[in-house]
Structures are given as C-alpha cells and as structure tokens.
C-alpha cells in the first residue's frame, strides 16, 4: 500500500469513527428525550387498591397547603434505598407545598427493621414521629437497640415510655403493620421503597427531580 493510500485509509477510519460517535450521541439524546417524556410509574394499576392506600389510616401523615396530592411511602428503616431517597422526597414535597405525605412502615428486612418500626410508631404518642424517623434514617446501620434509644433521646423523647407503649399497643401495631404489608404486596411491590403518588404506583427510589416531575404529572388533567 502506498503512502497516499495509507493516508486515505486512515482518513476514512477517522471519518467513520466520527460518524459512529455522532450516531451514539444522537442515540443518547433521543433515549434521554424519550425517558423524560415517559410517565413515571404505573398509572391506574389496581385502582381500588390504590384508592384504599390513599385513605386515612393509623399511619403517620403530614399535610402541606391544600394537600391536593397524596404521597404514600412504604419503607423499611434498614433499607439503604429508602434512606437515600428520603431527603429527596421530603425536599420535593416541601417545594411543591400542597402535598399530603403518608408514612407506612413496611419492615421486611428482619427483626431490627421490625423493632425500628415499632419504635417510630410508639414515638407518635410523644408527637415525635418525624424527629425519630429522621434520626433513624440517618443512623448508621445496623439499627441496634442502643442506637434506637439514642435516636429517641436525641429527639427529646422518653425511651422508657417508648418501651412501655410498644408493649401496651403491641396488638394494634401488629394489625397496622400487617395491613401495610398486605397493601404493599397487593400493589405489586417486591421490596422497599414503594410509593403511591396520586394514581401512580412507583417501585424503587427516585431522584429529587423525578419526585418533582411526577407531582407535576399527576396534576395534569
């Protein structure tokens, strides 16, 4: 092969590589555009179960503004994805300003998860559910009994009262957790976190931008 032929061949290879890079870039942009236009979650799946999940329950809930959209969270205190996405959901709800948030304990990762849920629910009786929840979500795993006690006391709670309330209301707590579990399974969740946002059923963690986006989407007629 002559020198000129080799130069031409190399030039053609560079052109092909540039074309390939361009095609890949276009593909990425098209994929991103399609992903952004695709609704988040599943709409209208098991509407009667979705409607039941949105009803008032014995779980803790907060309301902001008109609270015209309900966000139901099925979570486990020992779930890394739950812990990761919690601040993003909270920030999106606060920025929206018109959201009802329902926290449904679904302890599926063993005895420590179960105990943490019992502690959080007992903290409701001292009006400290959110404070204790925030502490537990930020406490390094695993959530031992000592860490649970520290979370309660750093939130301003009475640990001995928590222990007494867990025992006194054990049957009520079991019923609530069992109902949460039945709902979550009926909605098709295979693990935590799971969300019902308006009429959307969403499995898995979302970034803050997607929480904000789905809130916008469910308001659209």
Do 200 and 47 touch, CB atoms closer than 8 A?
A: no
Burial of residue 106 (CB within 10 Å: 0-12, 13-18, 19+) is: buried
- 30 and 86 within one domain: no
**pLDDT for the residue 16:** 54
Give 71's strand partners: 101, 197
**pLDDT for the residue 3:** 53
Contacts of 63 (CB under 8 A, 6+ apart): 99, 100, 101
- 17 and 115 within one domain: no
- 165 and 58 within one domain: yes
pLDDT per position as a tens digit, 139-158: 999 999 999 999 999 999 99
- 29 and 86 within one domain: no
Which residues in the chain come in under a pLDDT of 50? 7-8, 15, 18-36
Q: How many CA atoms lie within 13 A of 11 on its CB side?
A: 6
**pTM of the predicted protein model:** 0.80
Q: What is the mean pLDDT of the chain?
A: 85
Burial of residue 159 (CB within 10 Å: 0-12, 13-18, 19+) is: middle
Alpha-carbon gap, residue 55 to 98, rounded angstroms:
17
Indicate which CATH number applies to the domain containing 95: 3.40.30.10
- 46 and 33 within one domain: no
| Residue 48 CA: distances (Å) to CA of 42, 51, 53, 55 | 14, 5, 9, 11
Question: b or e along 36-62 (b: 16 or more beta carbons within 10 Å of the residue's beta carbon)?
Answer: eeeebbeeeeeeebbebbbeebebbbb
- 146 and 172 within one domain: yes
Domain containing 61 equals: 42-219
E strands, the chain, are 42-43, 60-63, 69-75, 99-105, 194-197, 200-203
Do 176 and 121 touch, CB atoms closer than 8 A?
A: yes
pLDDT per position as a tens digit, 102-145: 999 999 999 999 999 999 999 999 999 999 999 999 999 999 99
Give 104's strand partners: 74
- 51 and 120 within one domain: yes
Indicate the number of domains in the chain: 2
Pair type for strands 99-105 and 69-75: parallel
């Amino acid at each position: 092969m002559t020198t000129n032929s080799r130069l031409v061949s190399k030039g053609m290879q560079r052109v092909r590589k540039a074309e390939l890079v361009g095609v890949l870039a276009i593909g990425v942009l098209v994929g991103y555009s399609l992903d952004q236009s695709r609704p988040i979650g599943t709409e209208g799946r098991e509407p009667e179960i979705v409607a039941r999940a949105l009803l008032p329950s014995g779980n803790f809930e907060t309301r902001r503004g008109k609270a015209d959209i309900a966000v139901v969270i099925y979570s486990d205190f020992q779930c890394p994805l739950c812990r990761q996405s919690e601040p993003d959901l909270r920030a999106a709800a606060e920025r929206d300003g018109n959201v009802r948030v329902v926290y449904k304990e679904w302890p599926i990762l063993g005895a420590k998860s179960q105990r943490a849920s019992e502690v959080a629910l007992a903290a409701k009786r001292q009006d400290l559910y959110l404070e204790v929840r925030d502490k537990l979500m930020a406490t390094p795993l695993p959530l031992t009994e000592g860490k649970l006690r520290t979370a309660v006391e750093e939130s301003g709670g009475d640990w001995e009262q928590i222990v007494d309330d867990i025992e006194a209301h054990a049957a009520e707590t079991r019923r609530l957790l069992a109902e949460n579990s039945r709902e979550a399974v009926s909605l098709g969740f295979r693990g935590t976190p799971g969300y019902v946002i308006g009429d959307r059923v969403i499995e898995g963690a979302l970034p803050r931008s997607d929480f904000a986006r789905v809130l916008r989407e469910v308001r659209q007629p």
